[in-house]
Amino acid sequence: MTDTTSHIGKRIPRIEGPSKVTGEALYAADVMVPGMLWGRTLRSPHPHARIVSVNASGARELEGVHAVLTGRDAPPTMVGRMFRDLPLLARDVVRFAGDRVAAVAAESVEIAAAAVELIDVEYEPLPAVFDPVEATSEGAPVLHPDVRSYGYVPDPPPGWPLPHLIPDDVPNVQSYVKWSHGDVEQGFAESDLVFENEYRTPPTHQGYIEPSVSTVRIGEDGRVQVWMTHKNPFPGRAWLAQAIGVPEDDIVFEFVRIGGDFGGKGDLRDAPLAYHLARLTGRPVRFAMDYDEEFAAASTRHGSVIRMKTGVRRDGTLVAHRAEAIFDGGAYAAYKPRPEVHLVGPRHLGGGYRFEHVFMDAACVYTNHVPAGFMRAPGEPQVIFALESHMDAVAGELGLDPYEFRRRNLLADGEPSAAGHRKTGLQFQAVLDAAVDAAGWHEPKPSAPGGGRVGRGLAVSNQKLGTGFSVAVAMLLPGGEVAVRTGVPDAGVGSHTMLRQVAAELLTLPLDAVRILPGSTDESPWDMGLGASRHTYVHGQAVASACAELTGKLKETAAESFGVPPEEVTLERGTFSHPGGDRGLGFADLAGTLAADGPFAVPGRFLHPGDEAGTECFSAQIAEVEVDPETGQVRVLRLTTGNDPGTVINPLMVEGQIEGGVVQGLGYALMEELRIVDGHVTNGSLVDYRIPTAADVPPLTRVLVEDGTGPGPFGARPIAEYTVAATAPAIANAVFDAVGVRITSTPITAEKVWRALHAAESREGRAS
């Protein structure tokens, strides 16, 4: 990319970095409010049971305990991010092992922990369901018999697709969506060959280091102060207002840093309980989940069962595609942020491929598992693992090179996707070709360093733009500096650094003349918060809008001084001038007029123009692996990833997002699984739940196809989420290339490969 800018495309360090490494940055766990009590919850040991009785007298009598809440003491309010199906405390029934039954507030965390052990609960176990397919079968235990009576926060607009749009005789459905065009059965009849496969993925956890913290204080004026690990402060304030029955304006979410998120820190966690205990005791109350609770009761990535049936012509042309996904939503849908409580990923059941006939549908269903929510690229790693494994199998059966097969069938610019969306500015072919060239796809495979067999695998993924609405305020300060007030937090992705670069570039100022001011919900303009890879696009455009408004006001003021029309005033390197003028005015000069009595502020707004507007982002990944046929052990030798960032605003952050996504995809492929046995999490700690370390990461080659046509500031595209989805199928396809067995579930463990190899040998033996 030609260097025509001062700040865009530069490797600018994160502005919050020094405060984080010195310990100055304030996280929710750092907040110690005077007089604070410690909260603790009692959680169900049963995945499904009726609560017969609760005796909390022992806890109430323990010295140092100030309040105890049971389901019968708490208001019967149902809460949720958008769909309200989660009680504050279980009243009659518990639906997963980890469901909250009671809560206490005490002088110390040790006393609180001892108190919950003194609460005696009598349970009557009920039949449970753990498999999402079984949950939809006739005779399955119905976990939410009153599901259709649950409400929303807020009520969705007219015409919004609500959940439960399938027949009443299908039990335990949280939501259902479908897409179709053509006649899929006719398409299968017209196909030369038809292929069917089933794929399964388990639930996984975000693996953030910082646990969830919720601290609530009720002021003398009745206002509610909240310090919590929450990535959506303004929506979170609305959800909490509904949950506790307090007007939104009487609640303030204070600004704290967020120690990792990956989609997992967007629900209310224990904040409603902290409020009710603070109201009862007259003192602030804090809940801090330990990692046993994080794994047993937090917002996981959905497990899935995905079935695919695809018809093709002998030349490799895709004709018909039938795809069905059933996602394990766990015991509640409250953790999902969309009114229809569904995932975005299922729209990619047909990926970026061209089909003549399509029928795709997906359901999220209730089970007696940990409630599922959102994790990086919600639903996409599951769907893309299935689709790209399936496409590879189809190509192999046809005797076609996996690259040529994909190249032949990928969408061209403006063609409708399997979900019926037409996108422009697609870089599918360019990114695929660049990644394949960088990986040496057509070159001979190297010898195995460990004496095993080497294979290469390819997978692709595409993702729509994140939507949303954002407001930013640009302020000219009396000294001539500019401050940008924003309500968007930063969970480590570098949002504030990016916003500073955008503002400084548009205002033609040095970076140190621009400040980014995040703050509380009282101090900041309304913002949707983090999620959906919308930071650069939505928040960046809001800042760009505010800078344009400020520039316009400054030009008007300069024009008055120059005695010329505003349209003749130009801005370059922080100086306003006009043709033929013998002097210029800088920001400091104009501040004397506009900001004489304090900051001169103008707002900027950006609203995504429509859910299906714009382009799609694309990633192509190639894995090179070595497989030991004696043990089934898989070792990734090399990964290559191609992406289309449009314009790179900050290479450091783009590289970090790509590498982070690919490493998460590596974990998803080879090791990550929240093991749940009979409803109980059996690896609920960062010791037992495996995620990749630096030693697990192979050499990684990044290929960026920059075209400067993205919808974000300066032509940027999102990068954060879609780097994660193609890694697992690329590795699975490489394993097949190496040893000829296809693993159809994640994680791809040595045991699965070994068993598949021995099963193949047994079949060959019987055949001979």
Give which of 429, 388, 432 is closest to 669, Cα–Cα: 388
Dist CA 665 CA 226 (whole Å): 34
CA 302 to chain centre: 12
Dist CA 485 CA 631 (whole Å): 57
Sequence-distant (6+) residues with CB within 8 A of 284 are 33, 34, 35, 36, 37, 215, 216, 217, 218, 278
State both tokens at 508: 């033609």
Kindly write down the DSSP assignment for every residue of 311-327, as one continuous string: EE-TTS-EEEEEEEEEE
If you search the block for the tokens 């979170």, which residue do you land on?
236
Q: Is 354 helix (H, G, I), strand (E, B) or coil?
A: coil
Amino acid symbol at 395: A
For the chain, how big is the Rg over CA atoms in Å? 27
Give which of 139, 463, 105, 31 is closest to 275, Cα–Cα: 105
- Helix ranges (DSSP H) in 716-749: 727-739
Expressed in angstroms, the distance from the first to the final Cα of the chain is 59
If you search the block for the tokens 């960032």, which residue do you land on?
645
Proportion of the chain in helix, strand, coil states, percent, rounded to 5: 30, 25, 45
The answer to whether the beta carbons of residues 541 and 525 sit under 8 Å apart is no
Give which of 248, 229, 252, 212 is closest to 490, Cα–Cα: 229
Kindly write down the DSSP assignment for every residue of 219-288, as one continuous string: -TTS-EEEEE--S-HHHHHHHHHHHHT--GGGEEE---B----TT-S-S-TTHHHHHHHHHHHSS-EEEE
Dist CA 181 CA 631 (whole Å): 45
**Number of alpha carbons in the 13 Å side-chain half-sphere of residue 476:** 27
State whether the Cα torsion 250-251-255-256 is positive or negative: positive
Dist CA 765 CA 768 (whole Å): 5
Give which of 482, 483, 479, 513 is closest to 596, Cα–Cα: 479
Give which of 106, 98, 118, 99 is closest to 55, Cα–Cα: 118
**Angle at the Cα of 235 (from 230 to 241), degrees rounded to 5?**
100
Q: What region does 408 belong to: left with phi over 0, alpha with psi -120 to 50, or beta? A: alpha
- Catalytic annotation on 721? yes
From 612, 721, 751, 761, the catalytic residue: 721
Dist CA 753 CA 270 (whole Å): 42
Sequence-distant (6+) residues with CB within 8 A of 203 are 300, 301, 302, 303, 328, 330, 369, 370, 372, 673, 674, 676
Catalytic residues: 721
